[in-house]
Structure 1
Amino acid sequence: MMIQLGNFFFRCRNIIFIFLYLLLFVPSAELFGAERWGDKYFLYPIVLGLLITVSGQLIRGGTIGLAYIIRGGQNRQVYADGLVTTGIFNHVRNPLYIGNILMLWGAGIMANSFLFTLIIMPLFLCIYQCIVLAEEAYLKKKFGMDFIDYTKRVNRWVPNFKGIGDTFSSMKFNWKRWLIKEYGTQFVWLLGIAFILLYKYPTLIGRDPETKLKYAGICLLVIGTYYLTIRFMKKSGRWK
C-alpha cells in the first residue's frame, strides 16, 4: 500500500512541495509568543529557522555538487540509470530528501507556525517515507544485491558522519552543477524566506504597506535577477 502511495506522490511531488510551501502563510497559533519569550520573542524563530533551512540547502548543495543523481525520474515514474553510492550518498541514502525536509521545517519555524511545524511537517515526512519505499522497491528490483548491500552499509535517514571529511577532500565539488540544477528550487525557497520576514514580522520594517511593497519589490528584483542569470548561463551553454 505504501509503495503504491509512494509512486503516486512521486508523480506529484513538485506540486506537493509548492502546495506545502504555500501553507506557511496560513494563519496559525505561534510556536514562540511574547508572553513566554519576552519582547524579542520574534528573534528566536528567525534565527533557529534560518539555521535549519539553510543547513537543508547546504546538504542539497553538497549532494549535487559531489555526486549528482537524476531526481526527475522518467515519464513521471521512479527511474535510475545507475546506483549512486559516492559523495554524500556514501553517508546517508536520501540526502536530497533530508535537505528538503530541513528546508521546509526551518521555514515553518521561521514563520512561527504551530500548524506547519507540528502538523503539516509530520504529514510531509509520511509522504517522503512512501516515496522512498517506492524508490527502494524499484532499486532493489533493478540492481539486486548491489542495492541490498548498499542498504546494509548506509542508513536510510540517519547520516553517518564518519569519514565525511575524506569524502569532501577526495572529490571535486562542482559548484556550477549545484547552481544550474538547484536555481529553481532556490528561487522558490528564497522568495518564501523573504516574504516570511516581510509579512510575518512587521516589527522588522514597520507596518506601512508602502514600505512592505518597496522591500518586496527589492527582494523580487534581487532574487529574480539571480534566477535569470543562472538560467541564462545554463541555457546558453556557458555552464555545462
Structure 2
Amino acid sequence: MALQEELKSQGDFLFRYRSYLPLCIVPFFILVICTSQTFLLDEYGEYNTALIVVAIIVGFVGQGIRIWVAGYAPKDTSGRNTKEQKASVLNHTGIYSIVRNPLYLGNFLMMLSPVILLGNWLFIVVFSLAFWLYYERIIFAEESFLTKKFGESYTQWTLSTPPFVPKLKGYIPSDMDFSFRSMLKREYNSFFGLTTSLFIAHLIIVAIVCYQEENWELVYPNEILSVLFGLSAVFYLVVRLLVKTTKIFNVSGR
C-alpha cells in the first residue's frame, strides 16, 4: 500500500509538469550530437531525406492519433485536463476501445519524431524507455483516480483494453460525430509544436556538426522542414486569431 501511494504521488507530480518533458530531453539530445555520430548530414553536407521523411511520418502518425481523440472527445473527458486529475465522463468507445491512453501514445510518437532525426538508434531506444518510465507513473496515478471515481465499470474496461499498444480487434465506434471545429481548437497548438520541434532540432544538429567540422558552409535549412514549419506557422497564427477573437470553434458538449 505504501508503495502504491508513493507511485501515485510521483505520478501526480509528474502529471503536473509533463509539458516540460520535451525541454528535459534537449540537453541529452545535444550531448548525443556532440559525442556520437549522427546521420542527418553526410560528409558533403547533403541531407538524409529518408531519415527526414521517416521522422515526419512518425510525428504525423502521433498527431493523427491526437486528432482522432480530439475530434470525438466530449467535454471533461479524462486525458484532456492539463493541471490535475479530473474526469466527468469515462470514454471507452472509438480509439479508447482499443487503447486506454491514446493521447500518451500520440505524445510519444510526436516527441520521438525529432529524436529520429539524429539517426542514433541507441538514443531512440533510451528515449523510449525513459518515456515509458516517466509516463508509467502518470498512468498509474490517473488510473488510480479513475478507478476510485468510476469503480467497476472502469476496472472491467481496463481488463479488456491495453494501456499503450493498441489491440487489433474489439473496436467500438464512437457514439459521437467527429467535430472538425473542436479538433482544430484542441490541436492547432500541438501541430505547430511538432513542426517547430522538427525544424529547431534539425538546425541544432546542423549547427553542432558544422562547428565540429569547422565548415560553416554546410549550414542551410532543409527545404522540406522549412516549408513544413512555415506553413504550420501561418496555420497556427490564423487559427489562434480565430480562437481568441471568435466563437466559431466552440461546439456544444465539447
TM-score (norm 2): 0.76
Q: Secondary structure at the match of 1:100?
A: helix
1:223 is aligned to 232
Unaligned runs of 5+ in 2: 1-5, 208-214
Equivalent residue in structure 2 for 1:191, among 162, 175, 196: 196
**Quick check: 1:42 aligned with 2:44?**
no
**Quick check: 1:237 aligned with 2:247?**
yes
Cα distance between partner residues in 2 of 1:15 and 1:106: 17
Kindly provide the CA deviation profile for residues 8-61 of structure 1, in whole angstroms up to 9, marking residues without a partner as x: 1001111223433675444432465899xxx98823422322222211111111
1:152 is aligned to 159
1:214 to 1:139, Cα distance in 2 relative to 1, 3 A: closer
1:90 to 1:21, Cα distance in 2 relative to 1, 3 A: farther
Kindly provide the CA deviation profile for residues 173-220 of structure 1, in whole angstroms up to 9, marking residues without a partner as x: 222222211122222211111233445358xxx954885499998776
2:184 is aligned to 179
Equivalent residue in structure 2 for 1:10, among 7, 15, 25: 15
Which one is further off, 212-221 or 225-234?
212-221
Cα distance between partner residues in 1 of 2:159 and 2:224: 50
Deviation, structure 1 residue 148: 0.5
Equivalent residue in structure 1 for 2:145, among 130, 134, 138: 138
Q: Secondary structure at the match of 2:166?
A: coil
Kindly provide the CA deviation profile for residues 114-135 of structure 1, in whole angstroms up to 9, marking residues without a partner as x: 5641323311211111100000
1:78 is aligned to 85
Cα distance between partner residues in 2 of 1:216 and 1:40: 14
Deviation, structure 1 residue 82: 1.4
Aligned length: 232
1:54 is aligned to 60
Cα distance between partner residues in 1 of 2:28 and 2:236: 23
Deviation, structure 1 residue 81: 1.3
Deviation, structure 1 residue 64: 1.1
Unaligned runs of 5+ in 1: none
TM-score (norm 1): 0.80
Identity %: 26
Q: Which structure is higher in helix share?
A: 1
CA RMSD of aligned residues (A): 3.6
2:126 is aligned to 119
2:115 is aligned to 108
Instruction: Map 1:202-221; keep pairs closer than 5 Å.
Output: 208=217, 212=221, 221=230
Decide whether the 8 Å contact of 1:64 with 1:177 is kept in 2: yes
1:47 to 1:220, Cα distance in 2 relative to 1, 3 A: closer
1:196 to 1:147, Cα distance in 2 relative to 1, 3 A: same
Q: Secondary structure at the match of 2:17?
A: helix
Decide whether the 8 Å contact of 2:113 with 2:198 is kept in 1: no
Cα distance between partner residues in 2 of 1:51 and 1:67: 24
Which one is further off, 103-112 or 14-23?
14-23
Which one is further off, 224-233 or 112-121?
112-121
